[in-house]
Each structure stands twice: as structure tokens, then as C-alpha cells.
A = this chain, B = another copy of it.
Amino acid sequence: MPRIKFNEIYKDLKAKIETMEYEYQQMLPSENTMVDIYHCSRNTVRRAIGMLADDGYVQSLHGKGVRVIYQPVATNSFLMGGIESFQESARRNHRETITKVVQFDEITCDERLSRRTGFQPGDELYYVRRVRYLDGKPLILDTNFFLKSLVPGLTETIAETSIYEYIENELEMLIVTSRRTMTVEHVTPADESYLELGDYNCLAVVTGQTFNDDGIMFEYTHSRHRPDYFSFQTTATRKKN
């Protein structure tokens, strides 16, 4: 039996919007109509619509209907946003990636690192630095801290392929929530040596915490991106006061 109906409806509507079956500025069928179409309750339809609204795909207009506000974006640079990993983004764009591990250590969290990352002092961590290449170009200098107790058995070899795959497939731990901060910083000598920055003297820095399905923070990330291949997307919705 198709449990998780709301997700099926969500995916169906999303696909229909992306393929322009429902066009920009057009109204979706009414909620009651969708109840008939998808053979479900109105609550379930509304849940799917709510998810689309969170994605910035539609907007509900009280008493009128639900309007499509999605427009495909034209971008030639590498897209970030959401909780996707580097590998996933690359695969979605059909691009080739290489990862080179430039440092792999085991460290203990101290006071200073604790304030920066949110780990507790005394936590045992893996410290990994990697350069990410897309189509042969070095684009990202990635620094990761992993909680050793939750990501046991991490090796340099794994770090060279995909740590997230290892975590989700081998350890069967789900990555759920991710908090990210974006800033622009001056280039450091390390950036210079690993990335081909041309005449840029700054780069985009994304830092963030990642939580697993137990609500435990198991990763802190610090990514330094070459400006010309960086783009970060979000959509926000106004909250009722």
C-alpha cells in the first residue's frame, strides 16, 4: 500500500511544475479537486502544497487558489544550497569530480575549537582537509571535523571517495539537519597553494554543522570556494507574526 502519500503527491506536483505542465503564474487545481485526483484527504493534499511552498514553487492565496511562482533559473556556475553534498551536486550536473586528501589527523577538541564548532571540549575528532576538483579544476578547499565516536573507522581512502556515502551506506546513519553560514573572506596562503584563484583575493566561505537522525551533531564543515564557481540558493517565506 502506498503509505507516504503526501510525498508522492509532492513529487508529482513538483515534476509537473518543472516540466511546465503547470506554468508560471498558473493556478493549481483546487485542493478539493486534488482530493479526487489523488484519492486522499484534504490534509494530505495541503501537506504536499505546503512543501512546495517551502521550496518557493507555489504560493497559496486565501480564497483564490494556489499559484505557481516557480521559474527555472539559468546558472552556469556550481550550485550549492539545501543539504546536498559536493558529489551529489556534481552528479546532478553530470560533471566529473576528483577529491585529494591533503591532511588527515585525529585530534581532541579544545576550548577554542569548541567555541568555533559547537563540539564539546574533550571530544575525539577526525580532522580532514581535502581539495575538490570539478572537471579538473580545483574549486573547493574543504575542512571537516567528524565526531570519531559516530563516524568510526574513517580512513584517508574513504575521505578520497565520499565520506557522506560511507556514513549513509556503511554506517547507516541518516543526515538530517544542516545549519550553514556564508561569508566572504580574504585569501590565505593555503588557499593560494591549493586553488587556482587568478586575481581574486577573496573567496566564499561556507561553514556549518550537520546533525544525524539522533539529533547529534557529528560534523563541522568549513568550505572555501573559488568565487567564479560558487552560487548559493535559498528561498524564504514570511512567518505569521
List A residues 201-216 near B (Cβ within 8 Å). 201-204, 211, 213-216
Kindly state the separation between the CA atoms of A177 and B192 in the bound complex, as whole angstroms: 39
Verify if A30 is at the interface (C-beta below 8 Å from B).
no
Q: Given A184-B202, A184-B203, A215-B69, is A236 in contact with B178 using a C-beta cutoff of 8 Å?
A: yes
Q: Is the CB of A182 within 8 A of B182?
A: yes
Kindly state the separation between the CA atoms of A235 and B235 in the bound complex, as whole angstroms: 11
Q: Is the CB of B182 within 8 A of A240?
A: no
By beta carbon, the residue of chain B nearest A116 is B74
Kindly state the separation between the CA atoms of A63 and B25 in the bound complex, as whole angstroms: 41
Verify if A67 is at the interface (C-beta below 8 Å from B).
yes
Verify if A38 is at the interface (C-beta below 8 Å from B).
no
Kindly state the separation between the CA atoms of A29 and B67 in the bound complex, as whole angstroms: 37
Q: Is the CB of B4 within 8 A of A214?
A: no
By a CB distance below 8 angstroms, the chain B residues around A231 are: 181-183
Give the contacting residue for A59; candidates B54, B177, B237; CB below 8 A: B177
Q: Is the CB of B183 within 8 A of A232?
A: yes
Q: Is the CB of A233 within 8 A of B4?
A: no
Most buried by B among A25, A118, A181, A233: A181
Kindly state the separation between the CA atoms of A183 and B206 in the bound complex, as whole angstroms: 12
Q: Is the CB of B179 within 8 A of A230?
A: no
